[in-house]
Amino acid sequence: MRSIRGKSNSTERPGGFARRAVLLLALTLLTPLGIAVVGTGATASAAFNPAAFDFWVDSPSMGPIKTRVLRAADGNTDRVVYALDGMRAPETLNGWEIETNVAETLASWNINVVMPVGGQSSFYTDWNSPSEFLGIPAGTGSANTGSGATDALSGGPGKSYRYTWETFLTNDLRWALRDRLGFNPNRNGVFGLSMGGSAALTLAAYHPDQFSFAGSYSGYLNISAPGMREAIRLAMIDAGGYNVDSMAPPWGPQWLRMDPFVFAPRLIANNTRVYVAAASGLPTAQDGPNMGTVNGMALEALALANTRAFQVRMASLGGGNTTYSFPAYGIHAWNNWQDEAYRMIPDLSANIG
């Protein structure tokens, strides 16, 4: 693992990342939607942690939202981190609890872990409207069919109501954690994978009093690059049948506000401690010879191209507040993200509370 602070260690010729991004984007778009694994690795049984507890908070627009909380081992309430899920975030448990033991490790570092549950395909942002297609109201089709495309007209989260995840995380949940559990509402950390990685940087950029640290693993950090909106469109259709146009109009202020490449100057001005990672897309010994691995390779390579573009952008602005990690092996899967979280924890621990 290479880890550098605020500079690029790449030897690739100028223009190489752009050419690679176009090639990888094409590969991703051609990957059959039925096997897409954006935001998730291999399916695993829910690993319910009895030490964590449900923490319900009402959202004015989304209704009651469940968050899983695991307290710090030493009982402090000053050190807090939010762990964000990927595009296939289920309504039962947060993927970090289902797929990894990262929460337990964070708690052993005396960090309180906040794991919001749900938000499939939401990018943890406030949407323009409930998700629908062609003006057809949600709820007219079947749900949970196993195919995102056939779930497009179903009801459910973000369809029967408008997603307002940014407001929830930075207002409703933030103050409920303070008032009911005594958690420090300032200088928290936030990290996530894929969709959640991009969202973590967005939350830190616009809410610097709440988040002093942000971590992104395999995030899409250059979403205004050519073809990226359509790649996200296909991914969101597959991950629950959501319409990207309901989230934010194309290329308008709302969309640009979500793009880490665009808001990079804010992260520098805020002096946010940032940890950004993307693997090579080459499988490890843990990644089996199957189509899920092939898809995970393409998705991680696209995330790597986005991350490298973000790295160049930050360097051009003189930002020295970012640690970069580019492992030689790893695909878009939970084993990669768990390993990256372990590498990040010392940096996180030193920059929160």
Residues forming the active site: 194, 300, 332
Coil vs helix vs strand at 322: strand
* Displacement of CA 210 from its chain's centroid (Å): 18
Could you please report the per-residue DSSP string of 12-67? Answer: PPTTHHHHHHHHHHHHHHHS-GGG--TT--S-------TTSEEEEEEETTTEEEEE
Beta bridge partners, 54, equal: 68
Cα angle 202-327-84, degrees, rounded to a multiple of 5: 30
Q: What is the DSSP letter of 171?
A: I
Q: How far apart are CA 301 and CA 333, in angstroms?
A: 12
37/28 Cα distance (integer angstroms): 11
Nearest Cα residue to 200 out of 170, 157, 178, 244? 170
What is the identity of the amino acid at 336? N
Count of helix runs (H) and strand runs (E) in the chain = 12, 9
Quote the strand ranges of the chain, DSSP E: 3-5, 53-59, 63-70, 80-84, 112-116, 188-193, 211-217, 273-277, 322-325
